[in-house]
């Protein structure tokens, strides 16, 4: 089976739905799951997870060298009897004795009516034990959380080298303004920084194809994997209906054969299908290089994990002025020729 990288948790989740009721899974997955064995050695390849978002800024690259969510539940409130309500208030009720009646002779004075027994004094129940803050609680990781942890641990066995570069972004910003101004007057649409950076990564691989090569093992021996095409993975952070978030990394296939218009169209199509849950197995498999954008959450620089089977992962951080200039006025920045940067 093809390695699905950080998307393996999604495959497992869809497979469970398929086993319960395959009509709840898109038909594109049916043929794949018909012969899928999650416990087979090839069903999952060691991969990693990395932070994502759409946006641009600080870039760091990690390349091959030498080429739970805890489950939550809710308890429904039920009705209680008067005795249960009293017990909840810490009061134990005493049973009232039933008076014993003996036969009496005719004309004999009736015995005095027994008085009710005095209620037992309030006896508060012992308070429920509280968990000390010094104690460690253990929560089992399942599903997507367990898969992410497994992949991140497996990624530690991939030989990597990391390079960090600070690049002025003035030209990138200005050219994006020019392109979007032209689009607004013609066909419409908009180009994001991620469109431009992703296409630049693909074009850069033409002059440095070794960045698309990956490390692997065959028969216990290290090998160098050289893919036939550039399949660019796009890390997409999606919100689930329950408020949690999920990471998907679909890829644009054969990206090196596209011009910018074709790349932009393929990019938008992949993102749209990922958000709509319309991607099949082929949409997640075969990624050779990934682009992740932690800059949208304010991160200036990060070191994303390189997935097994991939050659490079490019991390793009926040698009900002250098820290030492962020307190300067716009006039001072212009006079000093200071522009925003990506790392």
- Domain borders along the chain are 49-66+155-342
57 pLDDT band (50/70/90 cuts)? very low
The distance in angstroms from the start CA to the end CA of the chain is 37
pLDDT in tens, 221-240: 999 999 999 999 998 888 77
| Burial group, residue 123, by CB count within 10 angstroms (0-12, 13-18, 19+) | exposed
* Statement: residue 51 has pLDDT above 90: no
* Statement: residue 244 has pLDDT above 50: yes
pLDDT confidence of residue 121: 56
pLDDT confidence of residue 195: 94
pLDDT confidence of residue 128: 61
26 pLDDT band (50/70/90 cuts)? confident
296 pLDDT band (50/70/90 cuts)? confident
User: What gap in Å lies between CA 247 and CA 335, rounded to an integer?
Assistant: 42
* Statement: residue 263 has pLDDT above 50: yes
- Is the pTM higher than 0.75? no
pLDDT in tens, 155-180: 787 888 898 988 999 999 999 999 99
pLDDT confidence of residue 74: 40
User: What gap in Å lies between CA 318 and CA 312, rounded to an integer?
Assistant: 20
CATH number for 49-66+155-342 (one of 3.40.50.1100, 1.10.1070.20, 3.40.50.720, 3.30.559.10): it is 3.30.559.10
97-111, 192-206, 276-290, 306-320: the lowest-pLDDT one: 97-111
Q: CB of 244 within 8 A of CB of 6?
A: no
- Identify the sign of the CA torsion 17, 23, 25, 28: positive
């Amino acid at each position: 089976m093809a390695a699905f990288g950080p998307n393996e948790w999604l495959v497992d989740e869809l497979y469970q739905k398929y086993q319960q009721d395959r009509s709840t899974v898109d038909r594109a997955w049916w043929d794949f799951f018909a012969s899928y064995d999650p416990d087979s050695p090839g069903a999952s390849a060691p991969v990693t997870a990395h932070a994502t978002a759409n946006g641009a800024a600080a870039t760091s690259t990690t390349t091959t060298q030498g080429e739970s969510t805890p489950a939550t539940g809710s308890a429904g409130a039920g009705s209680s009897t008067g005795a249960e309500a009293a017990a909840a208030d810490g009061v134990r009720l005493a049973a009232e004795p039933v008076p014993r009646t003996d036969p009496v002779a005719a004309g004999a004075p009736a015995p005095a009516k027994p008085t009710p027994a005095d209620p037992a004094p309030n006896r508060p129940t012992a308070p429920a034990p509280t968990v000390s803050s010094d104690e460690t609680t253990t929560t089992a990781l399942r599903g997507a959380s367990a898969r992410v942890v497994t992949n991140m641990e497996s990624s530690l066995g991939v030989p990597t080298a990391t390079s960090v570069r600070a690049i002025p972004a003035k030209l990138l910003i200005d050219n994006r303004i020019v392109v979007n101004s032209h689009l607004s007057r013609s066909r419409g649409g908009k180009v994001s920084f991620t469109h431009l950076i992703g296409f630049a990564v693909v074009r850069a691989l033409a002059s440095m194809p070794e960045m698309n090569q990956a490390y692997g093992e065959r028969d216990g021996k290290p090998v160098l994997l050289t893919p036939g095409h550039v399949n660019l993975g796009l890390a997409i952070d999606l919100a689930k209906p329950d408020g949690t978030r999920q990471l998907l990394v679909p890829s644009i296939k054969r990206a090196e054969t596209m011009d910018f218009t074709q790349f932009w169209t393929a990019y938008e199509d992949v993102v749209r299908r990922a958000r709509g849950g319309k991607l099949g197995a082929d949409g997640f498999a075969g990624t050779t290089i990934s682009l992740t954008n932690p800059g949208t959450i304010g991160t200036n620089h990060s070191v994303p994990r390189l997935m097994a089977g991939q050659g490079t992962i490019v991390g793009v951080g926040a698009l900002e002025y250098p820290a030492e200039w962020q307190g300067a006025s716009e006039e001072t920045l212009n006079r000093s020729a200071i522009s925003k940067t990506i790392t």
